[in-house]
């Protein structure tokens, strides 16, 4: 497993572990030790594309199995995480509640694992876990979003890819995940998974190590992280965010074109990492390491926490209203967002340390 060390060689191993983006200890437990569980039986999948090696980029100008309508212009309907407006009874939208209106609770994963990817309606959770020394994609579903997630079951044995950040798109019946330094996509027909392939050509995926796949709910846009950014203080490696687009009704993968760089920038942070894109593609949570201190000192002192930005259209490359959350950070940890519900009412988080230390998953609610 690829690992990069802070100061000695930079910060990065989170890319292929529970994988927040800055780095975590060599463990996928949710604070409860090694995971256990029965393996599912399946023929190991093989790729039809090799990991890519391109480097072109473009600067911008400025789960359930239920099939949902595919749209290239918006989010499929009925994406509320269950909170309702007390006056109308309609699903509430939590986006206007502010960045520090959260109630944060533990998010236990059974079996223990990392990278908890929340579905747009907040009823399904996918994560990765180590079962009998093999990586699996785990799925758990709940009927009521106010309740904890039940124990999950393996939905795909992912050991050949060490698949991380499993993001299922119900509308296109596809699973996106990070593995082997690239972003992969795998279709599903009924209960049968297809063959994983690199999600695009050499220009789109292959400039460096790509991770953190964030598909929009319609499957038309994919935002991801690449470790090709400038260093900061003690960190020899930084990150950039990129995105590619397609018509999912016409193309099973993304075109072989240079991705658009959509990295947020602000004087308040020195490194941006671990993007968590809203299903509509218009809002972004991400981890930011405060610029205060120049990236030196204890990296686990709470300076690395959650930021937020938004944009007017999915094609826009710049983010406005960049805001630092005072609440979604904790001394002793790096706090990274993982995935957010469509209504902005629920957000999964990963808390970890750079260097040996615990790894925890949490769920933030508001509304």
Q: What is the pLDDT of residue 39?
A: 33
Q: Are 164 and 179 in contact (CB under 8 A)?
A: yes
- The mean per-residue pLDDT over the stretch 113-137 comes to 97
88 has a pLDDT exceeding 50: no
70 has a pLDDT exceeding 70: no
- The mean per-residue pLDDT over the stretch 274-287 comes to 98
Identify the weakest region by mean pLDDT among 48-57, 226-235, 320-329.
Answer: 48-57
Q: What is the pLDDT of residue 81?
A: 66
316 has a pLDDT exceeding 80: yes
Q: What is the pLDDT of residue 208?
A: 87
225 has a pLDDT exceeding 80: yes
238 has a pLDDT exceeding 60: yes
Q: What is the pLDDT of residue 34?
A: 33
Q: What is the pLDDT of residue 215?
A: 98
Tell me the percentage of the chain whose pLDDT exceeds 70.
75
How confident is the model over 242-269, as pLDDT tens digits?
Answer: 999 999 999 999 999 999 999 999 999 9
For 311-342, the DSSP string reads: -SSTT----EEEEE-SSS--TTSEEEEEEE-T
- Give the three-class secondary structure for 346: strand
Kindly indicate the confidence band of residue 82, based on its pLDDT and cuts at 50, 70 and 90: low
Q: Where are the domains of the chain?
A: 13-36+55-84+91-365
Kindly indicate the confidence band of residue 290, based on its pLDDT and cuts at 50, 70 and 90: very high
Q: What is the pLDDT of residue 302?
A: 94
- Give the three-class secondary structure for 364: strand
How confident is the model over 51-60, as pLDDT tens digits?
Answer: 444 444 444 4
Q: Which residues pair with 128 in a beta bridge?
A: 114, 137
Tell me the percentage of the chain whose pLDDT exceeds 90.
71
Strands 124-131 and 113-118: antiparallel
- The mean per-residue pLDDT over the stretch 304-316 comes to 97
Answer left, alpha or beta for residue 177, where phi above 0 means left and psi between -120 and 50 means alpha: beta
CATH number belonging to the domain at 13-36+55-84+91-365, selected among 1.10.760, 3.40.600, 2.30.30, 2.120.10: 2.120.10
Q: What is the pLDDT of residue 90?
A: 52
Mean pLDDT across the chain, nearest whole number?
A: 81
Q: What is the pLDDT of residue 92?
A: 73
Instruction: Give the residue, 33 or 197, on which the prediction is more confident.
Output: 197
pTM: 0.80
Q: Are 91 and 300 in contact (CB under 8 A)?
A: no
How confident is the model over 198-210, as pLDDT tens digits?
Answer: 999 988 887 689 9
CA distance linking residue 351 with residue 64, whole number of Å: 26
How confident is the model over 13-22, as pLDDT tens digits?
Answer: 333 333 333 3
How confident is the model over 92-124, as pLDDT tens digits?
Answer: 799 999 999 999 999 999 999 999 999 999 999
41 φ/ψ angles, rounded to the nearest 5 degrees: -100, 130
80 has a pLDDT exceeding 90: no
Half-sphere exposure of 33 (CA within 13 A, CB side): 2
1 has a pLDDT exceeding 50: no
């Amino acid at each position: 497993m690829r690992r990069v060390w802070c100061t000695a060689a930079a910060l990065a191993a989170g890319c292929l572990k529970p994988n927040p983006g800055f780095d975590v200890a060599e463990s996928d437990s949710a604070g409860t030790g090694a995971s256990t569980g029965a393996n599912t039986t399946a023929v190991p999948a093989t790729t039809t594309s090799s990991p890519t090696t391109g480097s072109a980029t473009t600067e911008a100008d400025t789960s359930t199995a239920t099939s949902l309508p595919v749209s290239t212009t918006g989010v499929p309907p009925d994406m509320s995480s269950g909170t309702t407006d007390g006056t109308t009874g309609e699903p509430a939208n939590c986006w206007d509640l502010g960045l520090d209106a959260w109630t944060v609770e533990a998010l236990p994963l059974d079996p223990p694992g990392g990278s908890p990817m929340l579905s747009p309606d907040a009823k399904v959770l996918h994560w990765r876990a180590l079962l009998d020394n093999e990586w699996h994609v785990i799925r758990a579903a709940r009927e009521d979003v106010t309740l904890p997630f039940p124990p999950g079951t393996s939905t795909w044995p992912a050991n050949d890819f060490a698949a991380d950040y499993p993001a299922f798109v119900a509308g296109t019946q596809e699973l996106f995940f990070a593995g082997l330094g690239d972003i992969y996509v795998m279709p599903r027909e009924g209960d049968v998974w297809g063959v994983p392939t690199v999600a695009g050509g050499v220009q789109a995926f292959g400039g460096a190590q790509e991770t953190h796949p964030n598909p929009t709910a319609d499957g038309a846009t994919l935002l991801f992280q690449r470790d090709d950014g400038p260093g900061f203080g003690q960190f020899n490696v930084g990150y950039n965010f990129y995105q590619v687009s397609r018509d999912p009704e016409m193309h099973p993968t993304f075109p072989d074109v240079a991705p658009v760089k959509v990295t947020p920038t602000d004087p308040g942070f020195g490194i941006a990492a671990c993007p968590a894109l809203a299903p509509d593609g218009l809002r972004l949570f991400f981890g930011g390491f405060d610029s205060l201190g120049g990236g030196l000192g204890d990296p686990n002192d709470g300076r690395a926490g959650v930021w937020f930005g938004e944009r007017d259209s999915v094609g826009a490359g710049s983010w406005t209203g960049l805001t630092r959350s005072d609440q979604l950070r904790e001394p002793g940890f790096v706090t990274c967002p993982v995935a957010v519900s469509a209504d902005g009412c629920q957000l999964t988080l990963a808390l970890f340390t750079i260097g040996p230390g615990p790894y925890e998953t949490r769920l933030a609610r508001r509304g």
